[in-house]
Amino acid sequence: MDKLYAELEQGSLVAAKALLGWKLVHATPNGRIAGYIVETEAYHENDPASHTYKGKTKRNAAMYEGAGTIYVYFTYGMHYCVNIVAGRKGVGEGVLIRALEPVEGIEPMKVNRKTSVISNLTNGPAKLVQALEIHKGYNGTVLGHGLHLEKGIIPDEIVQSRRIGISQAQDKPWRFYIAGNLYVSKS
DNA sequence: CGTAAGATGAAG
DNA sequence: TTCATCTTACGG
């Protein structure tokens, strides 16, 4: 975890790769729900697609709080997504968690997602937030309490490609995922 | 104030 | 391909 923290501090590009394979765990009052991170995207201040491109606002403030902070944002009138903030305090960058491989708490995930199809539980940024019961209350808090990371798997092969769902900087290859993993979101 | 667009997902 | 649904940000 210390090595990971050092990598998170180096910025979103390094962090996005370093986070692959780590287990994202939400310790809820009713038990643990967790999965391996299999897909990420990096965002930073000089990136037109980033929420921090035009500077600090009330919404994106958590992205300036330094490595290890959690940024939860609301979008499209109905969805939440999570980021692990990267870089040093004062710099606005982070890593969007786009997909997980379900590991613990599969049953509650099925209930939360209203489906029993395992491959459809956490293969998208808003889906995993719903499956793990992550809520906006975590925005601006630090990893380590309810929501935290634990050692997971060592990725076999990492693929780098274009990001998904953005209208700016579509040519930048700042998305990373574990090759061949069944739970990577569809593009 | 008014309004447009958004790091999505599910259904048709 | 369309639509659901709403907060934030920015212009007037």
Tokens 């809520």 belong to A135
pLDDT of A186 above 90: no
- Chain B bases under 7 Å from protein CB? 5-10
How far: A76 CA to B1 C1' (Å)?
Answer: 22
Q: Rounded to 5 degrees, what angle do the CA atoms A27, A28, A31 make?
A: 80
C-alpha span between A24 and A97 (Å, rounded): 10
* Cβ contact A30 with chain B strand, < 7 A: no
Q: What is the mean pLDDT of residues A108-132?
A: 97
Any idea which nucleotide's C1' is nearest the CA of A42? B7
C-alpha span between A160 and A175 (Å, rounded): 6
The first and second tokens of residue A33, run together, are: 């729900």
* A54-105: pLDDT as tens digits: 999 999 999 999 999 999 999 999 999 999 999 999 999 999 999 999 999 9
* A3-48: pLDDT as tens digits: 999 999 999 999 999 999 999 999 999 999 999 999 999 999 999 9
* Cβ contact A122 with chain B strand, < 7 A: no
User: How far is C-alpha A67 from the chain's CA centre?
Assistant: 13
How far: A4 CA to C3 C1' (Å)?
Answer: 41
Any idea which nucleotide's C1' is nearest the CA of A130? B9
